[in-house]
Amino acid sequence: MNVLELKVPPVILTLLFGAAMWAVSRVLPSGYFAFPGRLVLCAAVLMAGASIALLGVLAFKRAGTTVDPRTPHQTNSLVVNGVYRHTRNPMYVGFLAILAAWWLYLGSVFAALLLPLYVFYMNRFQIKPEERHMRALFGEQYNQYSAEVRRWL
């Protein structure tokens, strides 16, 4: 197990990436862009992302399982309904959409380069370790679910 696996809470990681995106937009202002309707699109992406993440949290709460992704050993049920029919990680999809909205708000071409790094980090240090725990807990049921529903979208 790597030292970073399941260590940084995804909310904190998202805030850190948001701060890094802001810093990049200030250090490299030549990458600024704007277009008509940019802020409207930003608001729509932000609302969609927040809604998707919230639906993921609510589904976990209804199932009575932990929403703290750093403690997958406390998971007591496999949630496969609601938003989990479309993505195995709606909270992370929501966080990524929120970062995409932030990128639109900043209007920085260079800040966009951090979005794939966020996905890489989440896949490597958060999602894959969670998936190992889910396979250990739920076996074939999780294997079937992961074969039918994509990790992101």
Number of domains in the chain: 1
Closest CA to 9 of 136, 17, 62, 1: 17
pLDDT under 50: residue ranges of the chain: none
pLDDT number for residue 1: 55
DSSP-assigned states of every residue in 81-138: SGGGGT-S-HHHHHHHHHHHHHHHHHTBTGGGGHHHHHHHHIIIIIIHHHHHHHHHHH
Specify if 26 maps to a domain: no
Q: Is residue 100 part of a domain?
A: yes
- pLDDT attached to residue 120: 98
Residue 75 is predicted with a pLDDT of 92
Task: Estimate to the nearest angstrom the gap between the alpha carbon of 20 and the chain centroid.
Answer: 16
pLDDT at 72: 80
Is 132 among the domain residues? yes
> Would 144 be classed as within a structural domain?
yes
Please tell me whether the overall predicted TM-score, pTM, comes out greater than 0.85 for this model: yes
In a domain, 9, yes or no: no
In a domain, 5, yes or no: no
- Residue span of the structural domain in which 153 resides: 45-67+77-153
Residue 49 confidence (pLDDT): 99
In a domain, 28, yes or no: no
